[in-house]
Amino acid sequence: MLSEFSLIDRFFARRAAAQPSDTESGALGIGDDCALLAPRPGEMLAISTDMLVEGRHFFADVDPQALGHKALAVNLSDLAAMGARPQAFTLAFSLPKADETWLAAFSAGLFALAERYECALIGGDTTGGPLNLCITVFGSVPPQVALRRDAAQAGDDIWISGALGNARAGLGVQRGEWQADADDAATFRRALERPEPRVALGLALRGIAHAALDLSDGLAGDLLHILERSNLQATVDVDAVPRSAALRRLSPAIQQRCTLAGGDDYELCFTAPASARAAVQNAGREAAVPVTRVGTISALQTAADRPAIGWRDAAGAPLTLTLQGFDHFHAD
Amino acid sequence: MLSEFSLIDRFFARRAAAQPSDTESGALGIGDDCALLAPRPGEMLAISTDMLVEGRHFFADVDPQALGHKALAVNLSDLAAMGARPQAFTLAFSLPKADETWLAAFSAGLFALAERYECALIGGDTTGGPLNLCITVFGSVPPQVALRRDAAQAGDDIWISGALGNARAGLGVQRGEWQADADDAATFRRALERPEPRVALGLALRGIAHAALDLSDGLAGDLLHILERSNLQATVDVDAVPRSAALRRLSPAIQQRCTLAGGDDYELCFTAPASARAAVQNAGREAAVPVTRVGTISALQTAADRPAIGWRDAAGAPLTLTLQGFDHFHAD
């Protein structure tokens, strides 16, 4: 297995060693039993872990460079949703064989994103086995401004970054569920394979937003997490949910399915007081990401009420939607 | 997959929520996009990640309770080798189906060890797929006393905790490579399935030992990591390497193979100045783990010298050993 080892060393350890060392946090990286890491002074480490499995989170024939990007992007997205500044990550993976071309492309996609966010590879583990990627990511955040799920308040606006549904539309085109022209198909595919973590927006929303999370499983399911943790309910204007021009060219039914129950978008969904509307718009401009107000948070009305989302059309009339949860690529 | 979700919630999330919250580090655990964690004041987080794959690191029919223990134990062992105090861990795993009996036993083994070391589960990810366990563990250590691999010094003694070779002997018995009576076989099997991380010893060696690592791949390969990182060489008395009474009942050739090239022992190998011999023995007593001096570290003699281990017999005569690296269960 020596050849595997030296390949992995070539593609990961040496590149990790070439990273600028973070003198502020004094990180000790790859090559010891543990890496050493500290948050910035007065801050805490925000930590998230995600495992990606072939056949479940990506197809066996996925472009390895896109996979390297996405494996880290979905983790950085969790930092963004916490308002944390990326700092470092560990990478553990099993793979059936050490394919040099594959590893070169995968590591290129991974490090291109890591370097863009100054997020250093500080440790890892590699082994033979069915293809499986496990990344744990570390960011730094002052705990008092961390964007927690349990911090929404009655009266808050509900906001969404970017546009929803493109990733699910891309999966539908790939699966042959529906068709799109070549340009739109490319837009959708890019959203599915190359999600952009909203790190800058998460940082800009510190002290402005109350609660936040990233949309990995679809708005209907994910917003419910905020409601359950904050013990509140929500009203969402279905037609206000932002979508791309490409998605608007698909049928209204597909648009609704992709925007509300899609998933894999990795946009932020967050709440903020109505008094902060200008500040939220300003944060969006600062981060160069559009932000759209789609609804409001309210208190539960009776002791029997459960956290839930009330869907409305543009005229404010209630809609009864049958939304299949987790209607996207990873069925878990 | 709702049933899987509630099973996982029952066995992991609820139990994690019941853990005493660490007010000192102010950890925010499962249920948000990220966990929040801080090292103790003035310290850094020591971080290590390990991935265990079925068929490579454990057999498909492994006792799930033992697997839960071992998956965390090998990670805690990395903290021990750094002199770090365990604090928290994340668990990501894929499994083919949500088998309630299996999950109950696995989580029982995992949490029994976690609670013993006050190491809280703070996050995770679960998905369908071939059985794969990825744990990332966090400890706290003052960086100036962290037991790094690159800190050995010429003149240091080389020490080993506990006894080596039992785990490899257990694998040999399981594979039918050699026989042992029932009691010895049980001793070997326990070493293979239930390694005890030397956390207390790692803590007791802060400020006493220079360099340390844990023996996961066998003494011959692992000690070389210290030598390479410290740019030194070593002389090891083969007969001084500690072994159990059970192992002494196997042939001398098997003893040598198991103690020097075995692996999976998760004992500590560390270096300390000769002036610290009493302090090292005292640390061993404090941690209730025997410690044995097996050799010495010396400077490279010429510019052409490479870090290497010189093996000696009890009389000090050089031995030429053909040690197969990684001669244990996980071939990587």
Q: Which tens digit of pLDDT belongs to each residue from A257-277? A: 999 999 899 999 999 999 999
Measured in degrees and rounded to the nearest 5, phi and psi for residue A280 equal: -65, -45
What is the β-pairing status of strands A85-95 and A120-128? parallel
**If phi over 0 gives left and psi between -120 and 50 gives alpha, with beta otherwise, what is residue A227?**
alpha
**Can you name the residues that pair with A269 across neighbouring β-strands?**
A160, A213
Contacts of B326 (CB under 8 A, 6+ apart): A1, B217, B218, B221, B263, B332
Give the fold, CATH level 3, of B2-144.
60s Ribosomal Protein L30; Chain: A; (3.30.1330)
As annotated, the residues of chain A forming the CATH 3.30.1330.10 domain(s) are 2-142
Looking at CA atoms only, how far is residue B111 from chain A in angstroms? 19
A chain contacts of residue B56, beta-carbon cutoff 8 Å: 94, 127-129
- Looking at residue B289, what is its pLDDT? 98
Question: A2-142 belongs to which homologous superfamily?
Answer: PurM-like, N-terminal domain (3.30.1330.10)
Eight-class DSSP state of B324 = P
State how far residue B149 is from chain A, nearest Cα, in angstroms.
6
How does residue B331 score in pLDDT terms, banded at 50, 70 and 90? Answer: very low
Q: Does A332 touch chain B (CB under 8 A)?
A: yes
Sign of the torsion formed by the C-alpha atoms of A332, B4, B5 and B8: negative
How many angstroms separate the Cα of A103 from the Cα of each of A122, A133, B213? Answer: 18, 13, 29
Instruction: Point out the least confidently predicted range of A153-157, A325-329, B139-143, B237-241.
Output: A325-329
Beta-bridge partner residues of B214: B268
Q: What is the pLDDT of residues B185-222, one digit of tens each?
A: 999 999 999 999 999 999 999 999 999 999 999 999 99
Say if the Cβ atoms of B36 and A326 lie within 8 Å: no
Residue B60 contacts A, CB cutoff 8 Å: no
Report yes or no: B149 and A31 within 8 Å, Cβ to Cβ.
yes
What confidence tier does B320 reach under pLDDT thresholds 50, 70, 90? confident
From the list A56, A90, A94, which residue is nearest B49 (CB)?
A: A90
CB A283 within 8 A of CB A222: no
Find chain B residues with C-beta within 8 A of A143's C-beta: 26, 28, 36
Using a CB–CB cutoff of 8 Å, tell me whether B73 touches chain A. Answer: no
Domain with CATH 3.90.650.10 in chain B: 147-319
Fold exhibited by the domain A147-319: Phosphoribosyl-aminoimidazole Synthetase; Chain A, domain 2 (3.90.650)
Whether the predicted pLDDT of A40 surpasses 80? yes
